[in-house]
Amino acid sequence: MSAGQGPQDGPGFADLGFARVDTAREARQGLPEVVYGPGKTAAEVTAIVQRLLTANTGPVLVTRVDAGTAGEVLGEVPGGRWDEAARLLVWRPAPAGEFRLCVVSAGTSDGPVAAEAAAVASAVGLRVEVIRDVGVAGLHRLLAVAGELRRADAVIVVAGMEGALASAVGGLVAAPVVAVPTSTGYGASLEGVTALLAMLSSCAAGLTVVNIDSGFSAAMAAFRLARATRRPL
């Protein structure tokens, strides 16, 4: 048995008893398994992170982490940092590459989701620019940054309410657009369902839509796009 290998480990995974850690994901997809923080104790997060750091060379991330858990884990696993706005723990962040990602949000209420998208994308090596508060209620604000949007290799659009910003951006740029509906808005916004359905029904052809409030999923979609652009045609 090799050093660091548990008695129940199998090919490509480490069995910690409470979790089977996918130690082969970096080889398959270019990035170690990302840990979802909620529902796990600090001790469980610590054990998973330690195994991922040992088994891989790339960034190790834990999403949706509260301050208390973050402090406990960092006390046990040095070298990491916690992004309070994004609720993200990161070890070994990747240096910024050439792929330019723009994260644009409709309003300040969408900030936490946009922060997660930007922080995750930055941690995995994308060059990130953030544009805040350019919702369609003041369309001139969006048009003022159209040039910046068009220079991006991909755009993540974060919007609640009726989700119209994604369609507006999708009509302005040629780059892939990943839309993130948020749960912001009044009663008929239905906790993000209205924005989700609007984005799915967008007349801006080719729009990609991820789950409600999932800045993480949008960042991962951009990461996959970035990897695909580096492959030979």
> pLDDT tens across 126-177, in order?
999 999 999 999 999 999 999 999 999 999 999 999 999 999 999 999 999 9
Of the candidates 149, 157, 197, 194, the one whose C-alpha atom is nearest the C-alpha of residue 174 is: 149
pLDDT of residue 178: 98
Domains 13-91 and 100-229 in one fold: no
If DSSP codes are grouped into helix, strand and coil, which group holds residue 56?
coil
* Average pLDDT score over residue span 88-95: 96
Model confidence at 85: pLDDT above 90:
yes
pLDDT of residue 8: 67
Question: Which residues touch 93 (CB under 8 Å, ≥6 apart)?
Answer: 59, 122, 123, 124, 125
pLDDT of residue 133: 95
* Average pLDDT score over residue span 109-133: 97
| DSSP structure class, residue 25 | H
pLDDT of residue 2: 46
- Percent of the chain topping pLDDT 90: 91
pLDDT of residue 7: 53
**Domain spans of the chain, in order of start:** 13-91, 100-229
Model confidence at 6: pLDDT above 60:
no
C-alpha separations of 133 from 143, 167, 195 in Å:
12, 16, 16
The amino acid at residue 8 is Q
Q: Which residues pair with 154 in a beta bridge?
A: 101
State which CATH number among 3.30.70.2860, 1.10.260.40, 3.40.50.1970, 3.40.50.300 fits the domain covering 100-229. 3.40.50.1970
Report the distance separating Cα 26 and Cα 24, nearest Å: 6
Of the candidates 173, 155, 156, 153, the one whose C-alpha atom is nearest the C-alpha of residue 227 is: 153
Report the distance separating Cα 29 and Cα 116, nearest Å: 21
C-alpha separations of 232 from 30, 98, 204, 228, 229 in Å:
16, 16, 28, 9, 8
Position of tokens 């996918």?
22
Of the candidates 56, 62, 71, the one whose C-alpha atom is nearest the C-alpha of residue 119 is: 62
Model confidence at 98: pLDDT above 50:
yes
Question: How big is the chain by its Cα radius of gyration, in Å?
Answer: 19
CATH code for the structural domain at 13-91: 3.30.110
* Average pLDDT score over residue span 193-218: 96
**Do residues 99 and 226 touch, judged by C-beta distance below 8 A?**
yes
Report the distance separating Cα 76 and Cα 69, nearest Å: 11
pLDDT of residue 230: 77
pLDDT of residue 11: 81
- Residue 163, judged by CB atoms within 10 A of its CB (0-12, 13-18, 19+), counts as buried
CB half-sphere exposure, 145, CA atoms < 13 A: 22
Residues 21-64: pLDDT tens digits? 999 999 999 999 999 999 999 999 999 999 999 999 999 999 99
* Average pLDDT score over residue span 177-188: 95
pLDDT of residue 231: 59
Q: In this structure, how many other beta carbons lie within 10 angstroms of the beta carbon of residue 159?
A: 33
Q: Which residues pair with 60 in a beta bridge?
A: 91
